[in-house]
Amino acid sequence: MSLSYAPNPSSARALDPARLNEYRERGYCVVDGLYSDDELVAVEAFFEEYKKCGAAVFDGESRFEEIDKTKRQVRAMHPHRHSRKALDWALNPNVLDVLEALMGKPPLLAQTMYYFKPPGSKGQGMHQDNFYLLAKPATCVAAWTPIDDAEVENGCLYAAPGSHRSDIFCPEGKAAGWMEYGDSHIRPFPREFKPIPVPVKRGQTLFFGGQLIHGSGPNRHPARSRRTFIGHYIDAASDEVSHYYHPVIDREGNTVSRVREASGGGPCGDGAAGGLH
């Protein structure tokens, strides 16, 4: 079925053309000031409380209520399914307008996460998000909003510029799991790509496409966490998305029933992909 969407004038104004060019060239761009200072304070306070109260905080598929900072990189998974506030932050109209400018179609929310990433925690191996989300026909896009300035020392993201033009790299042998930190989830790693650090300050949001090869470094800072609120989105013309990200949600907060659950493992075959990442 072919779907058409009326142009959204606020999305056309939302993104400086220079940022859009960067996104097209490198596969990612950083945009300032989408969340207000008050919102960032509220996000930070909410997730400190969320963690303390034992709300669902996950590492891989396991649920943890304690942070073991030396072994685990604890994150909240899908907080928008537990909290209206987290849903509203993920549906921040400024963020959605930028996503619409990048995707060319209205965005639908598929996933939220909050990384606590305290000092001593490990990084996340190199991967492509759409290996997991299986959005089709277009790929997904992430909006990655740090609560602490994210720098090399406290474990910022690393991204391989230009890798967003690639197909999904299928791991040789058994698919590497999310828990295999520090190593690449993509094996063998395509040596033509060189991941570089992407520092992002509090008050900025990093956007990157679902084919971009990225991961993050360990947090080696003695005292500073690297907390981040993250949303993953697919475009409104998507036919399907993996089970773990289904159902998807539109700008108004409604479930969108026309997007199906993906069946099978996507480009890498059954059993290879489509998990939580």
Ligand X SMILES: O=C(O)CCC(=O)C(=O)O
Using CB under 6 A, pick the residue from 115, 207, 229, 244 that binds ligand X: 115
Least spacing, CB of residue 40 vs ligand X, in Å: 16
Least spacing, CB of residue 196 vs ligand X, in Å: 15
Within positions 176 to 215, which residues make up the interface with ligand X, using CB under 6 A?
214
Using CB under 6 A as the binding rule, whether residue 129 contacts ligand X is answered as yes
Q: CA 95 to CA 35: how far, in whole Å?
A: 8
Secondary structure in 3-state letters for the chain? CCCCCCCCHHHHHHCCHHHHHHHHHHCEEEEECCCCHHHHHHHHHHHHHHHHCCCCCEECCEECCCCCCCCCCCEEECHHHCCHHHHHHHCCHHHHHHHHHHHCCCEEEEEEEEECCCCCCCCEEEECHHHHHCCECCCCEEEEEECCCECCCCCCEEECCCHHHCCCCCCCCCCCCCCCCCCCCCCCCCCCCCCEEECECCCEEEEEECCCCEEECCCCCCCCCCCEEEEEEEECCCCEECHHHCCEECCCCCEECCCEECCCCHHHCCCCCCCCC
Least spacing, CB of residue 175 vs ligand X, in Å: 16
Nearer to ligand X, 16 or 44 (CB): 44
Least spacing, CB of residue 228 vs ligand X, in Å: 5
Least spacing, CB of residue 267 vs ligand X, in Å: 18
Using CB under 6 A, pick the residue from 34, 86, 96, 142 that binds ligand X: 142
Using CB under 6 A as the binding rule, whether residue 228 contacts ligand X is answered as yes
Least spacing, CB of residue 18 vs ligand X, in Å: 24
Using CB under 6 A, pick the residue from 11, 112, 124, 184 that binds ligand X: 124
Using CB under 6 A as the binding rule, whether residue 216 contacts ligand X is answered as yes
Residue nearest to ligand X according to CB distances in the complex = 216
Within positions 89 to 108, which residues make up the interface with ligand X, using CB under 6 A?
none
Using CB under 6 A as the binding rule, whether residue 230 contacts ligand X is answered as yes
Which residues of the shown chain bind ligand X in the complex (CB under 6 A)? 115, 124, 129, 142, 144, 157, 214, 216, 228, 230
